[in-house]
Amino acid sequence: MSSEGVSRKRRRWIAGGLAVGLALAAFGFVSAFANSGSSPGGNEPSTTPIKHLVVIFQENESFDHYFGTYPIAKNPGNEPAFTAAPGSPTVNGLSQQLLEANPNQFNPRRLSRGEAVTCDMDHGYTDEQKAYDAGLVDKFPEFTASHECEKGLVMDYYDGNTVTGLWNLAQHFALNDNSFGTQFGPSTPGAINLVSGETHGAVPASSPGLSENGTDIGDGDPKFDLCGKEALEMTGKNIGDLLNKNNVTWGWFQGGFAPTGESNGKPVCGSTHKNVANATVTDYSPHHNPFEYYKSTANPRHRAPESEALIGHSEPGQPEGGANHEYDISAFDEAVKHENLPAVSFVKAAEYQDGHPGYSDPLDEQAFIAEKLDELEHSNQWESTAVVIAYDDSDGWYDHVMPPIVSPSESASDALTAPGSCRPVADQENGTPLPAINSHCGFGPRQPLLVLSPYARQNYVDNTLTDQSSITRFIEENWQTGHTGETSMANKAGTLSNMFDFEAGAPKAPKVFLDPANGEITGEEGGKAGDEGDDEGGDHGHGHGSGDGDHGSGNSGGHGSKNHEKVHCAVNGHGRQVELNCSVGGGKGRGAVRFRIERGHKVFGTSRAAIKGAKASATVDTKGSLAGKYTLLATVSRTDGVDALSQSVSLPGKGSVNLH
């Protein structure tokens, strides 16, 4: 192409461009509310039916890398099959021309399920801009390919035979194909933009190269995290500050946050897991935790909450504010299990499950998402919950859509349109340039964004222009918190509202249960209009997947209950079902029983039944035929309180058990 042709093409783009005893927990719970004035369980007033927002914030994927050929998968015989529902919408993905005659040095190639573990690509602030080449989008192998792998790998993509779970969720809920990182660069800017929409105000404690012009562009550890290297501080406000000011419960839950010991007076976050490639990976990454960069929301010593019931609440009487809304991922599991979910929850997987190429992968990531969704969908709080799955950066993977430049920058590290410049040419020519926040060139690369909720539009692809700070905007508007700052990108972010259907009488999206191993759908449930889950209804079956935290059996004890319940169940286990016929006594008022069958850390099935005439009957569908000793947990909920009771049971076979 001639230089004149290149110039015309550039201008066309630019012109458009913890568990404790329940009785003690209940006491702490009541005390906290008396002191804080906040309300329990994330029931704070909201402007939509969403009372609980769960943001699963994953790592390093571009949209084309995961959804480039959606909804068409190759379906080889040795991989989980994916077949789209008739009439499924398409996305702005990889056309036949892009697949066969790509302007880059290499054509995109489909990666098989056997290639789930790959190298980590170059996703630096400057190199990503160079890869987009002022709108030509033709320099990815030169600038963002991994130095450890072949250059062409950066162009490659997965389809629904590997990212099967995410494609199945997109079939049943809402997917956005026009969502971008708020700015170019790696994990830390993406994480900070998620919670504030603003990476300006960075103060380096060490390694000055981590920031430029007072703006974060690198991956320095948080200054206020004693499990890290204390490299960078952020000033200003984040969404946690606003939620605290408005007495809205919230929490950041991250894998590996709980210390494994202490060294030289500092906590050590040393827990590890093995990924699918059998590599040992440290769970906790300090620079993936945005709230530790702000002194106001940091938990430097990684303190646990005083009690499980205080998850999501401030603890002003504790040293350094107690947990200060920062928790291990196991705290999220406990909050869901006891239906004490905060209004806003940010969920960060341990590194081996966060999807980050190099040490994680789509298969480990899929298992995490399936397990967390399973927990939430078996909670009575699901009916007022929305889950957002989003990503911190693109890892440098190829994506064919040039980001619109809504935040120009002119600094030494910029290189999008010219050395030292990230500013649309048309913007320069028309004499009315947009104001720049130097070193905050954005939007950055396009990334996946999904919304899962009973209120999500079903099998829907949204084209609304959004970015990471759109999540901040949704929180600000839904709980009317005010704004994090005048220059926050959240102030002009696109809305997530188009991915929901809040119209009265609109059909609710059904629950979808995924197999964590292969991402295939193991069952669906619900989907009717109007409210669900009252005492006459019930969640029957689909106890698929295992929890990531400690699903202990729980001892008898009150959680606000004045009358200790007595439950006697006739248990009949056969095949993949367990029948429970129970008598319930000791409590007063209307109520229901939630049943859970578990062993160790795994949940094998759940169900729910209304209490009618002091009796409750349920059938628990299980993932497989059960044999041996299990724990049957019954949580009795009445208008006057809750009791959690458990007892060991032998399955299969007939028998009876008194829960206490």
Q: In whole angstroms, how large is the CA radius of gyration of the chain? A: 25
Residue 259 and residue 271: Cα distance in Å, rounded? 8
Residue 344 and residue 591: Cα distance in Å, rounded? 27
pLDDT at position 446: 98
pLDDT at position 544: 29
pLDDT at position 34: 30
Strand partners, 653: 573
Residue 321 and residue 314: Cα distance in Å, rounded? 7
Helix (H) or strand (E) holding 266, with range, is: strand 266-268
Burial class (CB in 10 A: 0-12, 13-18, 19+), 38: buried
Tokens of 656: 């009876």
Centroid of chain to Cα 367: 13
pLDDT at position 96: 97
When comparing pLDDT for 342 and 648, which is higher?
A: 342
pLDDT at position 452: 98
pLDDT at position 639: 55
Q: In percent, how much of the chain has pLDDT > 90? A: 67
pLDDT of 658 > 90? The answer is: no
pLDDT of 263 > 60? The answer is: yes
Sheet holding 385-391, edge to edge: 326-328, 250-254, 344-348, 52-58, 385-391, 449-452, 174-176, 460-462
171-195: per-residue pLDDT in tens? 999 999 999 999 999 999 999 999 9
Q: In percent, how much of the chain has pLDDT > 70? A: 84
Tell me: cis bond preceding 291? Omega within 30 of 0 counts. no
Confidence of residue 644 (pLDDT cuts 50, 70, 90): low
pLDDT at position 19: 30
Strand partners, 467: 180
pLDDT of 485 > 50? The answer is: yes
Mean pLDDT of 384-399: 97
Confidence of residue 638 (pLDDT cuts 50, 70, 90): low
Confidence of residue 36 (pLDDT cuts 50, 70, 90): very low
pLDDT at position 35: 33
Three-class secondary structure assignment of 368-427: HHHHHHHHHHCCHHHHHEEEEEEECCCCCCCCCCCCCCCECECCCCCCCCECCEECCHHH
pLDDT at position 576: 83
In the numeric block, the tokens 């792998």 are attached to 149
Mean pLDDT of 66-71: 98
Residue 195 and residue 472: Cα distance in Å, rounded? 6
pLDDT at position 627: 86
When comparing pLDDT for 41 and 129, which is higher?
A: 129
